[in-house]
């Protein structure tokens, strides 16, 4: 009888501890899934904005007969329309070929990954796209 009582006393609270552990692990997985989705969405938005900005800039460069300032403004407008939080990181027009190269960057808003040093680089999205001016 004494051995049975000692065995039940030692196991008291074991189920509660396991439930708490599983809940913490489930919450961590949910947060990591949310962060992963935010990163994927941000990378898609950045890539789409860079592609649109390069195309719009090249089209403007062609329609204005080489007005580089208008092409730059078209790239800025395209990035701003896509998302005001995005940043036009680089804009280059090749002097010889009139190829427009646009780089757009942004940082994903995450719950956990942006606060952990070695994972912080995963939250940054940067895409470079180019578009050539088609001959008339």
Query: Residue 122: inside a domain, yes or no?
Result: yes
Number of Cβ within 10 Å of residue 88's Cβ equals 19
- Enter the pTM of the model: 0.82
- SS3 state at 89: strand
Question: pLDDT band at 1, cuts 50/70/90?
Answer: low
- SS3 state at 85: coil
Report pLDDT for 7. Answer: 54
Q: What is the mean pLDDT of the chain?
A: 91
Q: Identify which has the larger pLDDT, 75 or 12.
A: 75
Query: Residue 136: inside a domain, yes or no?
Result: no
Report pLDDT for 57. Answer: 96
Query: Residue 26: inside a domain, yes or no?
Result: yes
Provide the residue range defining the domain that includes 28.
2-131
Would you say 70 and 64 are in contact if contact means Cβ atoms under 8 Å apart? Answer: yes
Question: pLDDT band at 123, cuts 50/70/90?
Answer: very high
Q: Is 136 a residue whose pLDDT tops 70?
A: no
- SS3 state at 97: coil
Report pLDDT for 67. Answer: 93
CATH assignment of the domain containing 6? 3.30.1300
Report pLDDT for 80. Answer: 96
Stretch among 6-20, 85-99, 101-115 having the lowest mean pLDDT = 6-20
Report pLDDT for 76. Answer: 97
Query: Residue 54: inside a domain, yes or no?
Result: yes
pLDDT in tens, 42-60: 999 999 999 999 999 999 9
């Amino acid at each position: 009888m004494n051995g049975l009582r000692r065995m039940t006393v030692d196991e008291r609270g074991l189920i509660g501890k396991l439930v708490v552990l599983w809940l913490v692990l489930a919450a961590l997985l949910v947060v990591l899934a949310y962060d992963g989705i935010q990163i994927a969405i941000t990378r898609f938005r950045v890539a789409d904005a860079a592609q649109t900005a390069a195309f719009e800039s090249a089209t403007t460069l062609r329609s204005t007969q080489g007005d580089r300032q208008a092409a730059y403004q078209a790239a800025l407008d395209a990035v701003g329309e896509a998302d005001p939080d995005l940043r036009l990181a680089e804009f280059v027009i090749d002097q010889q070929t009139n190829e427009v190269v646009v780089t757009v960057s942004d940082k994903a808003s995450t719950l956990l990954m942006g606060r952990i040093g070695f994972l912080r680089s995963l939250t940054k999205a940067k895409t470079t796209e180019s578009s050539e001016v088609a001959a008339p």
